[in-house]
Amino acid sequence: MKRIIGWMLAVCMLAGYCPAVQAAGEEKEDVTLAPYFFIQEGDPSVDGLPLKGTSVRTNVNGVIAETYVTQTYANEGERPINATYVFPASTKVSVHGMTMEIGSQRITAVIREKEEAEQEFEEAKSEGKSASLLEEKQSNVFTMDVANIMPGDTVVIELHYTEMIGCSEGVYEFVFPTVVGPRYAGVVDEEDAEEGDWVETPYLQEGVTPDSSYDVTVNLSTGVPIEDLICGTHDVDVEWKKNSEAKITLADPGDFAGNRDFILRYRLAGEEVDSGLMLYEGEEENYFLLTVQPPARYEAKDIVPREYIFVLDVSGSMNGYPLDTARELIRNMVKNLRSTDRFNLFLFSDIVSEMSLQSVPATEENVQCALDLIDMQEGGGGTELLAALEEVLRTPAKNDAARNVVVITDGYIYDEGEIFETIRDHLGEMSFFSFGIGSSVNRSLMEGIANAGMGEAFVVTEEAEAKETARRFQTYIEAPVLTDIQVEFDGFDTYETEPSHVPTLFAQKPVVLFGKWRGEPKGTIRITGKTGSEAYAQEIQVSGTVPSEENEAIRYLWARKRIETLTAYGFATVDDQTKAEITAIGLEHSMVTPYTSFVAVLDTVRNPEGDSMDVDQPSPLPEGVSGYAIGGYLFGAEPKDTLLVLLALSVVCVNVRKRRRRKKCVQS
């Protein structure tokens, strides 16, 4: 029965949300946003997979990473094509460079306001000119459009972007996302459908990878001896130049690397890394980057009672390995609860169900009840996280308990804004923590939930990490490292500092500030706060730091951080004034933003007939994600009448099953 229900839930997506299969070159009739499976059919003269290779080269110097991504498109068919490719990036990147190369001609892209760039691209496309357009769809999702790729053409696009390497508990982590997971959008209005058309991207069948190559190289230089250099996601070769420099490459280029995040972790020698100040002196404005190492974690003596509400995604994309990992994660978290804690468990896909009408004591019997309920789940249906959070907010709270909501999902959701807004509206009532499960999670959603809810974001890529991650969560939530953080500048003339407010540090990670400065680099920066019941203070002398041209990347990091503030990490409604400021930042820094795009146009008319075929480059499903993420198949059948009947049956069966389970848990 359990497996039948799982199949039926998969039918929900197939019947109501997406066309599960679509041939290359066919016109899409859907008005809802939904990905689909790619099948190479239609016109055999059209090259349906024009992306032939992706090459990534990252140079890490200290805490700043400069990445060059080279996408190679080729038309091996007989007709001109226009290619569209959806790809991810880190949520922290500043994309500030792009070139297009066709044959011997190399063109540097220019930054334009979004509408102007789109118009310039469409005009070039209609005139038969080769052109490319890079747009930001979400903070970690971009699209590349390449027009008029002629038969036999090879088009090389190079992107240049900058980001800061994250550090927590002494571990540095470089993440390069390789694939955008399929997004669940449900029903959206016409305006959102137009903005979110990238969601309707094709995917290859489960377990199928494209013939294109995917290469990653990281040149790591830290200035301090490197220890514990590990890449748990890919097999790599490490070439040591000296103890502070290493070149990391993929060990087997034949093993397709583009269906999971590339994650590189390392420590630096010594127990502590010094706080530091970096300065850049520009022609018009000067920028600084300040990193302050926090104190060691203190031992909490008096811990107030806590309430934990676990919100678990059991949708189609979680079927199999992601849900198995989530089970193990919750298993470890609930087992670590104290007898004075209370908890509840919400499950969501197309529908929402809860273990109990209110949180229950963390007794052995109730914990086992939660584990039994999780073990019943197979994964199927859509991803209605907003509905689940609304149900959580309606449940009664205990006045004497600190309330914490723990969201566990792969994050394959399109409309994140409503989720962030809902969390922000209830900030004073509870804290929100997020756990991303899977090989290519939507880090924009994970980080956004944590930022909006003043909590922390965690990512678990495999089941083996679940126990340690659960332990870290318990440590974080019981004993924040630093609270009431204040930053003062004495004698150092600064302005437009980001972020303007530093939240509580749950993890032992640096306080990071970006800003601008005037005059002479002098004075003192003072950081104060509380560690437990004790006062904390640290001072940095500015005069000992000399501005360097090598620190130019700081201006791009500041710009990205400023945009995050203006959009409140994506959960604020952007008015005309804010949109104008973001646009100005993008144009001034030659940087892609939600309102500025890169466009490159070759002057030569190469396709005067204008008969190009539009091709959407299919992506592989992220490793570990099953076909349930975009509907899957049921005995190969597609007739909608049959599917709708099965859908109705599945909802009835699931509701009956969940009511029975909740009753049993409440009685326990």
Domains of the chain (ranges, CATH numbers):
54-180+212-268+595-616 (2.60.40), 306-478+655-667 (3.40.50.410)
Please report which helix (H) or strand (E) contains residue 424, including its range. helix 417-425
Give the separation between CA 621 and CA 10, rounded to whole angstroms: 16
353: tokens are 């169900």
Closest to 230 in 3D by CA, of 264, 206, 259, 187: 264
DSSP state of 617: -
DSSP state of 184: B
Q: What's the pLDDT at 249?
A: 97
Give the separation between CA 628 and CA 181, rounded to whole angstroms: 12
Paired strand residues for 197: none
Q: For residue 376, what are the CA distances in angstroms to 372, 394, 426, 434?
A: 7, 25, 31, 23
Residue labelled with tokens 């604020």: 572
Q: For residue 415, what are the CA distances in angstroms to 54, 188, 189, 508?
A: 28, 9, 12, 31
Closest to 21 in 3D by CA, of 38, 8, 33: 38
Give the separation between CA 272 and CA 293, rounded to whole angstroms: 8
Q: Rounded to a whole number, what is the distance in angstroms from the first to the last CA of the chain?
A: 24
Paired strand residues for 562: none
250 contacts 56 by C-beta, under 8 angstroms: no
Paired strand residues for 553: none
Q: What's the pLDDT at 251?
A: 96
Q: What's the pLDDT at 658?
A: 42
Q: Please identify every stretch of the chain with a pLDDT value under 70, giving residue numbers as ranges.
A: 1-33, 40-42, 186-194, 270-274, 298-304, 399-400, 568-573, 631-668
213-221, strands of its sheet edge to edge: 105-108, 94-102, 154-164, 64-74, 51-61, 213-221, 245-250, 236-242
Q: What is the pLDDT of residues 474-528, one digit of tens each?
A: 888 777 788 888 899 999 999 999 887 787 787 778 888 999 999 999 999 999 9
Residue 637 buriedness (CB in 10 A; 0-12 / 13-18 / 19+):
exposed
Residue 171 buriedness (CB in 10 A; 0-12 / 13-18 / 19+):
middle
Note the helical H segments in 567-603: 576-588
Name the phi and psi angles at 276, rounded to 5. Answer: -150, 155
Q: What's the pLDDT at 646?
A: 43
Please report which helix (H) or strand (E) contains residue 544, including its range. none
Paired strand residues for 483: 530
542 contacts 518 by C-beta, under 8 angstroms: no
3-class secondary-structure state, position 302: coil
Give the separation between CA 95 and CA 85, rounded to whole angstroms: 17
Give the separation between CA 75 and CA 78, rounded to whole angstroms: 8
Paired strand residues for 490: 524
3-class secondary-structure state, position 122: helix
Q: What's the pLDDT at 158?
A: 98
Paired strand residues for 534: 531
Over its C-alpha atoms, the chain yields an Rg (Å, rounded) of 25
Give the separation between CA 131 and CA 117, rounded to whole angstroms: 11
Closest to 632 in 3D by CA, of 378, 300, 299, 287: 378
Handedness of CA 234, 237, 238, 241 (dihedral sign): negative
516 contacts 493 by C-beta, under 8 angstroms: no
Closest to 213 in 3D by CA, of 72, 417, 378, 92: 72
Half-sphere exposure of residue 280: CA atoms within 13 angstroms, side-chain side: 21
pTM: 0.84
